[in-house]
Amino acid sequence: MPLTRLEQQIAFLKEIDKLKTVLRRTSLIDRSRLENSAEHSWHLSTAALVLAEHAPEGTNTLHAIRMLLVHDLVEIDAGDTFAYDPQGHADKAAREAAAADRLFALLPTDLGAELVELWHEFEAGRTREAKFAIALDRFSGLLQNWGGADGGTWRSHQVTREAVLRRMEPIREGAPALWSFIAAVIEEATAKGHIFDP
């Protein structure tokens, strides 16, 4: 017997609880433990509320938040790919696409299509809202590495200044008002030896 609409929605909500178990490489700012992907999504969504005034004019913040809430659900199957791991990024798109197909298919067809469309929009990064969401995703890692005063994963993985600048580049377009802060943080972290400048 097919599941009712509510049963499908509840099954999906139970399944996405697994996002709380996906550990990221980035620690909390207080360095007490690693962050999980559900916490990351919550923090980004809150950042979109708090930093909405820094988004390009005309950005629909609520739409960006909807993307931020679903963009990492695929990590339930695909795992978190460390931002500075080129080998992990080689098959990231394929792993995450397969995860999206499975996860969003748990929902009623119309709702699954709506959420997978949000996920694809974020991944494509073409709309103003997607660019803002991606900028915040990049900003988050910078904030956590810089905020703990020890360089976090930048220092422990000997990440170069060039790699950090490349990673932060989408912020120039997605949240250009934040760029001067980003540049200052990178300068400070480089001066402290938290980011390597070979």
Note the pTM of the prediction, 2 decimals.
Answer: 0.96
Residue 197 scores a pLDDT above 90: yes
User: In the structure encoding, which two tokens stand for residue 52, read together?
Assistant: 């909405």
Per-residue pLDDT, 133: 98
Local structure of 35: helix, strand or coil: strand
Q: Is residue 37 part of a domain?
A: yes
Q: What is the CATH number of the domain that holds 111?
A: 1.10.3210.10
Residue 88 scores a pLDDT above 90: no
Residue 138: Cβ within 10 Å count: 20
Give me the residues paired with residue 196 across strands.
160
Number of domains into which the chain is organized: 1
Per-residue pLDDT, 77: 98
Residue 99 scores a pLDDT above 90: yes
Burial of 83 (0-12, 13-18, 19+ CB in 10 A): buried
Please give the Cα distance from 59 to 63 (Å, whole number).
8
> What's the average model confidence in pLDDT over 96-119?
98
Q: Is residue 70 part of a domain?
A: yes
Confidence of residue 149 (pLDDT cuts 50, 70, 90): confident
Q: Is residue 90 part of a domain?
A: yes
Which residue range is the domain that position 54 belongs to? Answer: 5-191
Residue 40 C-alpha from the chain's centroid: 7
Please give the Cα distance from 106 to 108 (Å, whole number).
7
Per-residue pLDDT, 178: 97
Q: Is residue 198 part of a domain?
A: no
Q: Is residue 134 part of a domain?
A: yes
